[in-house]
């Protein structure tokens, strides 16, 4: 069972603060970094899920402490540290080489995909 995962991403122009309208500089936008880390967390626990289940993000707490340039390689790490019923809690870390870019925590909820999507029509 995988409960810790590391994934590599390359910063693309469309992931900059300027392009995402979250800032005025051509550096990795915090929303893009959050998406990278959420993807890593989501992928780290796929083996825990039953057929018809998925996870949805419900909380992110992140300190983004260093800028990253276009084409920079980002290593994202997510580790499952706790499960209480259907709630999964992770620690997150993003690095560029040896430098920490961001650290934080994340929670995801295990849901039945069909039941979750049915809520959209109510």
Catalytic-labelled residue, pool 30, 54, 91, 105: 30
- d(C-alpha 83, C-alpha 72), whole Å: 33
108 assigned ligand-binding residue: yes
Q: Say if CB 9 and CB 74 are below 8 A apart.
A: yes
57 among annotated binding-site residues: yes
Exposure string for 46-60, b = 16+ CB within 10 A, e = fewer: eeeeeeebebebeeb
Q: Is 55 a catalytic residue?
A: no
The DSSP 8-state label assigned to residue 55 in this structure reads: E
Query: Does 30 participate in catalysis according to the annotation?
Result: yes
Annotated catalytic residue 64: yes
**Which one of 3, 39, 53, 64 is the catalytic residue?**
64
Choice among 38, 55, 77, 106 that is catalytic: 38
How many whole angstroms separate alpha carbon 87 and alpha carbon 105?
13
Contacts for 117 with CB less than 8 Å, ≥ 6 apart: none
User: Residues with catalytic annotation?
Assistant: 30, 38, 64
Residues contributing to the annotated binding site for CoA: 57
Residues contributing to the annotated binding site: 57, 108
Residues contributing to the annotated binding site for substrate: 57, 108
């Amino acid at each position: 069972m995988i409960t810790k995962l590391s994934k590599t991403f390359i910063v693309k122009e469309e992931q900059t603060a300027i392009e995402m309208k979250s800032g005025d500089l051509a550096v990795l936008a915090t929303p893009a970094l959050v998406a990278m880390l959420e993807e890593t967390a989501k992928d780290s626990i796929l083996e825990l899920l039953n057929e018809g289940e998925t996870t949805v993000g419900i909380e992110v707490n992140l300190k983004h402490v260093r800028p990253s340039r276009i084409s920079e390689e980002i290593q994202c790490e997510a580790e499952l540290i706790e499960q209480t019923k259907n709630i999964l809690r992770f620690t997150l870390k993003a690095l560029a080489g040896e430098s920490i870019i961001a650290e934080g925590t994340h929670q995801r909820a295990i849901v039945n995909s069909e039941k979750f999507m049915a809520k959209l029509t109510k």
